[in-house]
Amino acid sequence: MRRNVCAVLFAMLSLTSAVSAEPAKESVEADASTRQVAITSSFTGTEILVFGTVENSVQPSADAGTYDVVVVVEGAPAPVVVRKKSEVGGLWINTSSMRFASLPSYYAVAATRPVDEFADQAVLDANEIGFEHLRMILVRSGHRTASPAELADFKAALIRLKEQERLYVRSNFGVTFIGRSLFRATIALPPNVPVGPLVARVYLFKEGQLLGQYKSRVMLEREGVERFIHDSALARPVLYGIVTVIMAAAAGLAAAVALRRPA
């Protein structure tokens, strides 16, 4: 009798959980391992870990592939000009240029698999997920008419150059699930990463549908001597210039006196 009650209870419990799991919407919550990255004189680049969890996960195991997660980490937007050289009378000189209104100074995208395999172009465009889906607004072109093919060439070159500088990073399988709901991704910040606030965006997809997203901030700030010098250069440029002049002149004088040999 007692055993039967248990069996019924268990059956009821599993039934309710099965029933309630169907409508329970999955969502995503995430964070970065470091909220504050200090740039000191010994900074040589760093890594940040972005991790998160899928709420109400129905994924049976870590490698089931029920969900796709995309992690985007981007730096403050800034205008960029791309120049192209061509041959004029035997000399290679910059002849055309295109200027884009605002592009992330740093852009890293990591996903459970290539984003184009599971998500619609429209969704990727709307959320600026992936290099090809970044909004590049042309401000002014060096010459009057820029054909669509030319524009595409400039955009491709821009992304290629940013990738060479390691400022644009793509990691197609950079997000991994550790359990049924827990995932993680490591994002490399190169030593030349532009200093400023970073935004980490996390997107959760299931069968091509965007189920949820989460946003987190990482501060990238100069500290100590680096901060003092940089702030001085911006806030008191005349004094900064004079100090540089005095330092250089004093070093020159000291060397002349210290290393003086009989004339």
Q: Which residues bind another protein (CB under 8 A)?
A: 39-45, 78-87, 90-94, 97, 99, 142, 154, 157-158, 160-162, 191-192, 194-195, 222, 225-226, 229-230, 233-234, 237-238, 240-245, 247-249, 251-257, 259-261, 263
In the complex, least distance from residue 62 CB atom to another protein, rounded to whole angstroms: 36
73 torsion bin: left (phi>0), alpha (psi -120 to 50), beta (else) = beta
In the complex, least distance from residue 187 CB atom to another protein, rounded to whole angstroms: 18
Kindly report the CA angle at 114 between 113 and 116, in degrees rounded to 5? 130
Of 175, 168, 81, 163, nearest to 128 by C-alpha is 168
| DSSP-assigned letters across all residues of 122-163 | HHHHHHT-SGGGS---EEEESSS---HHHHHHHHHHHHHHHH
How many CB atoms are located within 10 Å of the residue 149 CB?
8
Give 186's contacts (C-beta < 8 A, 6+ positions apart): 47, 48, 49, 50, 174
Nearer to another protein, 82 or 175 (CB): 82
Nearer to another protein, 113 or 222 (CB): 222
In the complex, least distance from residue 61 CB atom to another protein, rounded to whole angstroms: 41
Nearer to another protein, 4 or 164 (CB): 164
Nearer to another protein, 40 or 209 (CB): 40
In the complex, least distance from residue 66 CB atom to another protein, rounded to whole angstroms: 40
In the complex, least distance from residue 51 CB atom to another protein, rounded to whole angstroms: 27
In the complex, least distance from residue 45 CB atom to another protein, rounded to whole angstroms: 7
For residues 250 and 4, what is the distance between their CA atoms, to the nearest angstrom? Answer: 94
Nearer to another protein, 98 or 111 (CB): 98
How far does CA 250 lie from the centroid of its chain?
A: 43
Nearer to another protein, 1 or 258 (CB): 258
Residue type, 175: V
